[in-house]
Amino acid sequence: MTPIEIIEALLTLIAGIGIFLVACTMMSTNLEAISSNSLKSLFAKTSKSKLLGVGIGTVATAAIQSSGATSVMVIGFVNAGIMTLGQAATIIYGANIGTTITGQIVALGFAGGDSVSSTIIFSALAGLGAFLMMVKRDKIKTIGGILTGFGMLFVGLELMSSSMENFAKVDAVRQFLAMISNPILLVILGAVITAIIQSSSVMTSIAIAMVVSGLISLDQGIFLTMGSNIGSCVVAIIAGLTSGKNAKRTALMHLIFNVSGVVLFMCASGVLSLCTGGAISYGSIFNNLFPNAPQTQLAMFHTVFNCVTVLIMIPLTNLLVKLVCKIIPTKESDNEGEDKPHLYFIDEHMLKTPAIAVLQTKNEIINMAEIALENFHRAFDIVCTMNYEEIDTFRRNERELNYLNCELVRFIVKLSKEPMSDKDHTYLSTAFHTITDLERVGDYAENIIEYADRMREHGEGFSPEAIDEINALRARIDALYDKVIRAYIEESLAVLAEADEIEESIDDMTNEMADNHIDRLGRGVCTADVGAQYLSLCANSERVADHFINMAKTIRELKI
């Protein structure tokens, strides 16, 4: 080959890698959009079952075509405190199995023999998908995006394969690669390249193309692929470094798990070589299992490698958790900020998977509603009993509501820029209003505390009759809240209708309370100053009910 041809081959390889990466991103984005509801229900089932965790990680990674995104999302869950390290470990196990699907797809692309190349057939799907993306219906557009990404995957593969075939004609290149036969060196090389391009799928695909073109042996490809598993941890490590201790532990678990699998298989390879005098290797085993199909041989080894590693590590999960906790111990200073306002369900790392981030945003908003209701209850308790023992908790929760108001809005602004389904976009647009409504509930609870403060200054309080009415009003608002949350979670218009009826009854109740107050005032049961606080409390309570019902009414926009 001339220098010009070598440069062309190198540029073709770079172009192939670029198209492959773009195709993976396009497939990931559109697959996540079309399977968003399934992903949400999938992660809602996360439990203590190790096998279930592995299954969730496998399916999620196969769906979004990115083990890195799954790992980063898991780090977000752990950092938010809604997933244990043990649960995170099993999902990471599954992510390693799920990522092998790309290698199987690539192997499929090299099939065909003397007939029309399957790579060409699959590449044609990019054109079909592009036509579908021109259709106005969002679902068809999404399907078009998946087909386009899938087709482009094979276009990139064809370019990479073509460049490898050209390099295979250069004796100097073949001789140089033949010199790199040390398994440890090959593993390190695979890890470094994967860390640079941040995609084990690309590294595995390059290795398959190199093996098929004869540029490297199957054994060399196997060790490069094992190294890619270690290099794939770089995404999780970067995410973990910018997060809390448990997030760092999760990233470390991912690294230890992948390194352990490589070390185990390297040791087994060494023993096998010593016992057979080098006659049997992983390459010879898979060559016999899948003769005349080098692409399938390497893809199947990748799948077997990850599955076996998972089977070995599942029983050792608890030990793995203890190990990372020992390496990254908890210090007393780590607990000093526990009372500070914080987010409970969302984390910046979840932006990598918008569908899951939307689900967690909804959970965060429901949690905010719970805090708002709790403070409303505390305000009622204080104003009725004049007992201020819970005032510090009240103030802390009020700071929490203000913090959630700001941080949720900031998170949603970022999240809304990510690709997602139309329904999720609509939900996020309504979420801004819901957050404001809940923050206002907290403000009205503060107003009620101020009424208590004024009465305490004058040594006054509500009459027993007034307190009974306030408690009845509180019970009615609780009933409204239960219906509101149920309607919000289930997106049920029927439950919303029930909530509407309760809200109207609260309006009637507050009007009746005002009439009763005038009657008590005429009988001299209460003073004008206390009466003013009572009327203000009724008005504030009625507005609290309005803000809660506004939260439930947002589901109407999701039904359009």
* Contact status, residue 233 vs residue 251, Cβ threshold 8 Å: yes
Count of structural domains, the chain: 2
Q: Is residue 14 part of a domain?
A: yes
Answer with the one of 284, 311, 327 that is the final residue of a domain. Answer: 327
Same domain, 63 and 179: yes
Q: What pLDDT is recorded for position 22?
A: 82
CATH of residue 465's domain is: 1.20.58.220
Same domain, 304 and 417: no
Same domain, 480 and 525: yes
**C-alpha to C-alpha distance for 441 and 145, rounded to whole angstroms:** 43
Q: Is residue 286 part of a domain?
A: yes
Q: Is residue 335 part of a domain?
A: no
Reading the block at residue 374, the tokens are: 């709790």
Q: What pLDDT is recorded for position 46?
A: 61
**C-alpha to C-alpha distance for 163 and 356, rounded to whole angstroms:** 39
pLDDT tens over the chain, length 560 residues: 677 877 887 888 888 888 877 887 777 677 666 666 666 666 666 656 778 888 888 887 877 667 777 787 788 778 767 778 888 888 889 988 988 888 888 887 776 554 445 667 777 888 888 888 888 777 788 888 888 888 887 788 778 777 777 776 667 767 777 788 888 999 999 898 888 877 787 788 888 888 888 888 899 999 999 998 898 888 778 777 766 788 888 889 999 999 999 999 999 998 988 888 878 889 899 999 998 888 899 999 999 999 999 999 999 998 999 999 898 887 755 554 456 788 888 888 788 778 888 888 999 999 999 999 999 999 999 999 999 999 999 999 999 999 999 999 999 999 998 877 788 889 999 999 999 999 999 999 999 999 999 988 888 888 888 899 999 999 999 999 999 999 999 999 999 999 999 999 999 999 898 888 888 777 777 777 888 888 999 999 999 999 999 999 999 988 65
Q: Is residue 257 part of a domain?
A: yes
Q: What pLDDT is recorded for position 114?
A: 46
Same domain, 271 and 135: yes
| CA proximity to 361, closest of 402, 416, 401 | 416
Same domain, 417 and 273: no
Enter the pTM of the model: 0.73
Answer with the one of 259, 293, 327 that is the final residue of a domain. Answer: 327
Same domain, 417 and 297: no
Q: What pLDDT is recorded for position 116?
A: 47
Same domain, 319 and 368: no
Same domain, 236 and 366: no
Which domain does 236 fall in, by range?
3-327
**C-alpha to C-alpha distance for 28 and 67, rounded to whole angstroms:** 11
Task: Count Cβ atoms below 10 Å from residue 458 Cβ, excluding itself.
Answer: 10
Q: Is residue 340 part of a domain?
A: no
Q: What pLDDT is recorded for position 323?
A: 92
Q: Is residue 347 part of a domain?
A: no
Answer with the one of 287, 312, 327 that is the final residue of a domain. Answer: 327
Which amino acid, 515?
D
* Contact status, residue 359 vs residue 43, Cβ threshold 8 Å: yes
Same domain, 302 and 390: no
Same domain, 384 and 235: no
Same domain, 89 and 52: yes
Task: Count Cβ atoms below 10 Å from residue 391 Cβ, excluding itself.
Answer: 15
Same domain, 509 and 375: yes
Reading the block at residue 170, the tokens are: 């250069």
**C-alpha to C-alpha distance for 376 and 390, rounded to whole angstroms:** 12
* Contact status, residue 42 vs residue 60, Cβ threshold 8 Å: yes
Reading the block at residue 526, the tokens are: 């209460």
| CA proximity to 297, closest of 208, 224, 214, 220 | 208
* Buried/exposed 501-510: b ≥16 CB within 10 Å, e otherwise: ebbeebeebb
| CA proximity to 194, closest of 240, 258, 137, 248 | 258
Q: What pLDDT is recorded for position 40?
A: 61
Q: Is residue 288 part of a domain?
A: yes
Q: Is residue 343 part of a domain?
A: no
**C-alpha to C-alpha distance for 204 and 213, rounded to whole angstroms:** 14
